[in-house]
C-alpha cells in the first residue's frame, strides 16, 4: 500500500512546499512561554500580542526568516550584586516562531504596558484570468 502525501497527489501540483511547512510547524516548540494572543483586526490584517513583562525593547528581536516570523527575547543579567531571598520572576530567554503565508507582511511592532504587539497585513490578491495560447507542434 502506497502512502499518499500532499506533495504526491496528482491534482496538487507544486504543493511540496506546503508539506514541508506543515512538518516544520509540527516540530516547533509547544512551550507556553511567553503567552500570546493572535487576533484578526480586519479582513486583511492580524495582530500577534506577546506578554513580555520585564523585557525592554532592546531585549527583544523580531526577524523574518524563510517566511517565518521569529520573536526572541533575552534579558541582560543584572550583575550589580543583588542578593535574592526568593526569585520567582524568571529572567529567561525565549523564542516564538509563527509561519507566515505567502502575501502576509510584517508591519510595525509596538510595546505598551508589558505587551508586544506585532501587526501583520495580508496583501489583497488581484483577480487574474490568464489565457494560454496553444502552439502548433
Collapsed DSSP state (helix, strand, coil) of residue 117: strand
Q: Work out the pLDDT band at 88, boundaries 50, 70, 90.
A: confident
Same domain, 41 and 96: yes
As a whole number of angstroms, the distance between CA 100 and CA 126 comes to: 19
Integer-rounded Cα radius of gyration of the chain: 21
Same domain, 74 and 94: yes
pTM for the predicted model, two decimal places: 0.73
Give residue 70's pLDDT. 95
Same domain, 45 and 111: yes
Per-residue pLDDT reduced to its tens digit, 93-130: 999 999 898 899 999 999 999 999 999 999 987 878 88
Our count of domains for the chain comes to 2
Same domain, 58 and 114: yes
Same domain, 39 and 23: no
Same domain, 17 and 43: no
Lowest mean pLDDT among 24-33, 63-72, 125-134: 24-33
Provide, rounded to the nearest whole percent, the portion of the chain with pLDDT above 70: 85
As a whole number of angstroms, the distance between CA 103 and CA 100 comes to: 8
Q: % helix / strand / coil in the chain, to the nearest 5?
A: 15, 35, 50
Same domain, 40 and 25: no
Give residue 2's pLDDT. 60
Q: At 106, give phi and psi (nearest 5°).
A: -85, 130
Q: At 43, give phi and psi (nearest 5°).
A: -65, -25
CATH number at residue 59: 2.60.40.790
Same domain, 17 and 53: no
Higher-pLDDT residue of 25, 106: 106
Same domain, 74 and 88: yes
Range of the domain at 20: 1-30
Same domain, 51 and 18: no
Question: Is 136 inside a domain boundary?
Answer: no
Amino acid at each position: 500500500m502506497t502512502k499518499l502525501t500532499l506533495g504526491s497527489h496528482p491534482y496538487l501540483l507544486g504543493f511540496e512546499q506546503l508539506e514541508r511547512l506543515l512538518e516544520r510547524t509540527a516540530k516547533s516548540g509547544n512551550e507556553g512561554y511567553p503567552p500570546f494572543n493572535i487576533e484578526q483586526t480586519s479582513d486583511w490584517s492580524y495582530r500577534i500580542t506577546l506578554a513580555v513583562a520585564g523585557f525592554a525593547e532592546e531585549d527583544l528581536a523580531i526577524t523574518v526568516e524563510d517566511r517565518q516570523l521569529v520573536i526572541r527575547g533575552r534579558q541582560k543579567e543584572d550583575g550589580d550584586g543583588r542578593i535574592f531571598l526568593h526569585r520567582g520572576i524568571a529572567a529567561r530567554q525565549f523564542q516564538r516562531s509563527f509561519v507566515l503565508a505567502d502575501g502576509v507582511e510584517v508591519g510595525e511592532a509596538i510595546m505598551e504596558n508589558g505587551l508586544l504587539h506585532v501587526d501583520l497585513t495580508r496583501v489583497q490578491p488581484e483577480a487574474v484570468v490568464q489565457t494560454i495560447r496553444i502552439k502548433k507542434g
